[in-house]
Amino acid sequence: MATAAAAALQQTPITFQSRSPPSAQLHSRPTVKFSLSTGLKLPKLTIKPLLRRNRGGGGASGARMADSAARSYATALADVAKSNNTLEQTSADIEKIEKFFSDPGVLNFFTNPTIGEEKKISIIDEIANTSSLQPHVINFLNILVDMKRIDLIKEIVKEFEIVYNKLTDTELATVTSVVQLESQHLSQIAKEVQKLTGAKNVRIKTLIDPSLVAGFTIRYGSSGSKLIDMSVKKQLEEIAAQLEIGDIQLAA
């Protein structure tokens, strides 16, 4: 299914219209506008029937369906990137998209059914212009808007990360700390994770969490199943457990 979707995504006719004069088109990543009236055969994507079925379903079944749909889209995008030899660049584009859609206001805009597709496409146009996204990534975002599946973007990002890591033998390690750690410390952490996992590559993702008080945590493995906790918060919790006094309250 993902292979067919990737083929459809790659072969879909696309027209990018520059705001510059015709002679300036396709030079130095021009501002682009996606046209839905240029023969884009979106209904022929293999994954469409799966995504449109029982969309009103909820609970665990609905969550599983959303995960399956996100996985199909992510795999299709990865297949296209691999065939174009742009897997690394596509991964970088996905990181840009993740940051953009981390803004709740942006996500609410794109998932608002009262806002027309034309306005949403224009915003994607701006994203493409300011972030220098690759054409097939722009196409991918427009497909999500047209199929009304842009609400899956966060799940797709996660699934793409999983697919990318498998294709490149990469271990993802999420390092959470109170303040941003210096690059040499992150490099040392990456080397230690590589020793623990035997992975060819290690990618470090950083998060900030003031509740740790001090220190840091490292989460890695399948879906972050393994945890190394070197935070002061954890130490305080262990002390509290040993003393059987519950949560420790630090006096101001």
Distance, CA of 127 to CA of 232 (rounded, Å): 40
- Give yes or no for a contact between 29 and 1, defined as CB atoms under 8 angstroms apart: no
Q: Integer distance in angstroms from the first to the last C-alpha of the chain? A: 59
Which residues, given as ranges, of the chain have pLDDT below 70?
1-63, 244-252
Give me the pLDDT at residue 80, please. Answer: 94
pLDDT of 34-79, one tens digit each?
333 333 332 333 333 333 444 445 566 666 777 789 999 999 999 9
Give the global pTM.
Answer: 0.62
Q: Listing from the earlier edge strand, what are the strands of the sheet with 216-220?
A: 201-208, 170-177, 216-220, 226-229
**DSSP letter at 214?**
S
- Per the CB < 8 A criterion, the answer to whether 127 and 133 are in contact is yes
